[in-house]
Chains A and B, each alone.
Chain A
Amino acid sequence: MEAAADLESSLELSYSGAGPGGLPPARSRIFKIIVIGDSNVGKTCLTYRFCAGRFPERTEATIGVDFRERAVTIDGERIKIQLWDTAGQERFRKSMVQHYYRNVHAVVFVYDMTNIASFHSLPSWIEECKQHLLASDIPRILVGNKCDLRSAIQVPTDLAQKFADTHSMPLFETSAKNPNDNDHVEAIFMTLAHKLKSHKPLMLSQPPDNDKLHLKPEPKPAITCWC
């Protein structure tokens, strides 16, 4: 116990020794969102659409993971949305699944509306997600892609909605290709970003500017003493 105390004192010393302004300028918050789903459902296209604003000309199977970032401003705060466009093919992803889920802020499940198989494999994706995530309250959303191919749709909306409801996820049907849906794709991710921002502060909540902290006498759960 003394040893621990000793350590704290030394570290405390060193922190105060760093002096004011010793820290680098604050970087904007990063939300890590992973996009998961079968191969060829359009994960790359969706993320590309959101981050580059257009449909990619030609895409190839993603190997491992591709990172796409976009900075957005939400309620006056600059936030970086870091999309992890993961590989759908097992052989391109097997060795890095744990990296996908490390410190992830939100999970986007994607299926192809014109391919019922991609919808049917969603439970296995959800299972994988469950296995790797420690926290259960990470926001998850379900996105049905390629809704512009109206004649080829195999997954009816009500079925998907039912599925989304049973897993308590919001469902979005969209198309990364249809230019009219650009706003829609954006809206989906922005909704997610808003949700993340309000979900939990992640950081300490700043006391209000008047430097007054109002402590409300509301009952709190029992706190284990940290001393």
Chain B
Amino acid sequence: MAEAGSGGGRSWKRHIVRQLQLRDRAQSGRFLDVVQAYTKLLEKSSLLVHFTEKLQAESFDLQAPRSGLEANGSALEPGSGHPETLQTLKIKYQGQIAEMKGVSGELAYRIIELSKLLKAKECKLQEQKTRLASLSGRISELEAEHQQLKGRAEDLGSGNCARKAEYDALRKRYWLRDGELRRAFEKEHELIESLVRKKVEAAEHQNKKNERVKQDRLNRELKVVTERTVSIDVESDELKPAEVKEPVRELVELEGCEKLWKRPFRSASATSMTLARCVDVFKGLLDFRLKRGNSISSGSEVCYHMPICLVTCLPSRVSDVQEAHFSEVNAVKFSPSSGVLATGGADSLIRLWSVAGGRLESLQTLEGANGSITSIEFDPSGCQILAAAYNNAAQLWHIGDCKSKETLTGHADKVTAAKFRSTRHQAVTGSRDRTVKEWDLCKGACCRTINVFSYCNDVVCCDNVIVSGHHDKKIRFWDSRGSRCTEVIPVEGKVTSLHISQDQMHLLSCSRDNTLKVIDLKMNNVRQVFRADGFKCGSDWTKAIFSPDKNYALVGSSDGSLYLWNMESGKLETILSGEHRASVNAVAWCFSGQCVVSVDQAKKVVLWK
């Protein structure tokens, strides 16, 4: 641009010079003619002067001869004509001379004028020249200025660039800071969320603690009250029956827990009634069990019989929902009487619930297992609970006593299942250490260890057979008398659960290939396979069960729905969904057949009716 400017500058300079030259040429050209004419005239005039002189001389010459002539002429020219001719000639020449003089005067005047004009022109030319000089001076001045401005523009441009870079840097920093700010906001939000969550937990914990304190106090007071003999001083006799009941009623009212205290005498008789009825009504079934006969069981051992129901009601609606544990709930079982529910969670707590009136009421919390609870079972009398836990042990609890009664240690890895045998004093546990152990509960000692080759996910036992479900997709049968594996049934996925029907005829297995299989225990073959489109086995410990009357098979899916198959038709009977938001870990069907409980990974326990 600078060059262009300078080029431009040079061009206009040149232009000016050219203009001036042109003008000069035009103007001087005009006068050139005049000058030439003038010089010509000068020449002419000089010529004329020359001529006139010549002519004058001639005329003198002529006069001289004429005089001579005159002298002679009078002789020669007799006529008067000859002098007259001379005279006319003279006049003529004189006229011509005068004319010439006039012309030359005129010319001289013109010369003077022209020279004046020339002078003026010269003057003008001079002037133009000086102007040209001044203009070129100005040009250089302007050029210098232009240069200077260009320099300044460059300076400013570079300054601008620097500013721009600075601005860009600042902008970048702004974005960075802005991002940081936003992240900080998000983090703050998150922190507050987590803090609030923590606080919610703390509040829950505090509430639970308060309840526990209250419970303890109640228990204590109840103990004190029941141990004390109260002599009742009745003031009026006829009111006696109603009033005597009063303290008892108060007891009952206080907490669900106290319900345990009422009618101690009547309940005993009721129990015997139940047993008697069971024996009568289900003699056939019992006979079957006797036929299968446990060789170990001797006469002294008490054989408990589960209450058996003939018809189950299909669960259809939610009766109660509780948040049962601090973390996921793994196991759930009903007591044989169907009135108490036990749940075991990953928070290593076992909680007992009363299910009276379609509501779950917390009865008791058993603390003391030092690991996530994987399985729970009531003994046939309902007095004891056997729980398997991640701390490589199984625990035996006495209901009502908050301390673990017996800890069965010996496994080298997580215990995944612990079951009572039908004879009261024995239990079987399965573990991830690839063993199944039989325990004598009287001594609290392991009486047999079976190597089962693979992770054991679940174990069940009937009279003389132990069935274990394995990680290597096999279900194995073990005779309780020998250590041999009597039968292996392969399935298509890791076995997650096993359940034996109450009549001990069938085994229900659930596996990670999302199928339930019914195995006939007489024939040791797969009798039925249940699949459903939406059903997905959610974990390695998802538990599937038979209904107490063995008409249905029930399991919870990873999407939180419960799937119920009809055993007779082999078809999917119903899907119960909408309540669980997380994978359902386990389900339990109460022995009276009226309600179902499901537990999920999101701490929830749902009671279905």
Given A11-B340, A96-B196, check contact A215 B264 (CB 8 Å).
no
Q: A150: CB under 8 A from chain B?
A: no
Binary interface encoding of chain B residues 188-221 relative to chain A, with 1 for a CB under 8 A from any of its CBs, else 0: 0000100111111011101100110110111111
Kindly supply a per-residue 1/0 record for chain B positions 395-414, scoring 1 wherever the CB is within 8 Å of any chain A CB and 0 otherwise. 00011110000000000000
Neighbouring B residues of A47 by C-beta, 8 Å: none
Q: Does B339 lie within 8 Å of A213, measured CB to CB? A: no
Interface of B, helix, strand, loop or mixed by DSSP: helix
CB of B249 within 8 A of CB of A223, answer yes
Q: Which residues of A contact B339 (CB under 8 A)?
A: 3-4, 6-8
A18 on interface, CB distance cutoff 8 Å: yes
Q: Is the CB of B210 within 8 A of A30?
A: yes
CB distance from A109 to the nearest CB of B (A): 19
Docked-complex contact A203 and B218, CB < 8 angstroms: yes
Minimal beta-carbon separation of A46 from chain B (angstroms): 19
Cβ distance B115 to chain A, nearest Cβ, rounded Å: 110
With A3-B591, A64-B203, A96-B199 as known contacts, state yes or no: A12 contacts B254, CB within 8 Å.
no
Contact at A24–B399, with CB atoms within 8 Å?
no
With beta carbons under 8 angstroms apart, the residue of B252, B261, B274, B591 that contacts A15 is B261
Beyond A23-B220, A211-B231, whether A8 also contacts B260 by CB under 8 A is yes
Question: A103 and B223: CB pair below 8 A?
Answer: no
How far in angstroms is the closest Cβ of chain B from A24? Answer: 6
Collect the chain A residues with CB atoms within 8 Å of residue B219's CB.
23
The smallest beta-carbon distance between B226 and chain A, in angstroms, is: 9
Given A9-B268, A26-B220, A67:B232 Cβ within 8 A: no
In the bound complex, residues from chain B placing their C-beta under 8 Å from that of A100 are 203
Chain A residues with CB under 8 A of B235: 214-217
A24 touches B216 (CB 8 A): yes
- Contacting chain A: which of B160-168, B239-247, B431-439, B479-487? B239-247
Chain A binding surface SS class? mixed
Tell me whether B493 is interfacial, beta carbon within 8 Å.
no
Picked from A7, A24, A64, A99, the residue with its CB within 8 Å of the CB of B207 is: A99
A64: chain B residues within 8 A (beta carbon): 195-196, 198-200, 202-203
Complex interface: chain B residues within 8 A of A8 (CB): 259-260, 262-264, 267, 339
Show the binding face of A for B, using Cβ within 8 Å: 1-15, 17-18, 20, 22-24, 26-27, 29-30, 32, 63-65, 67, 82, 84, 91-92, 95-96, 99-100, 102-103, 202-204, 206-207, 211-217, 220, 223, 226-227
Q: Write the residues of chain B forming the contact surface with A, with a CB cutoff of 8 angstroms.
A: 192, 195-200, 202-204, 206-207, 210-211, 213-214, 216-225, 227-236, 239, 242-243, 245-252, 254, 259-264, 266-268, 270-271, 273-274, 277, 307, 335-340, 356, 381-383, 398-401, 591-592
Beyond the given A30-B214, A63-B199, A207-B230, please list 19 additional residue pairs across the A-B interface where CB-CB is below 8 A. Answer: A2-B274, A7-B338, A9-B270, A13-B383, A13-B400, A20-B223, A23-B219, A63-B196, A65-B199, A82-B210, A99-B200, A204-B250, A213-B231, A213-B233, A215-B243, A226-B248, A226-B252, A227-B263, A227-B266
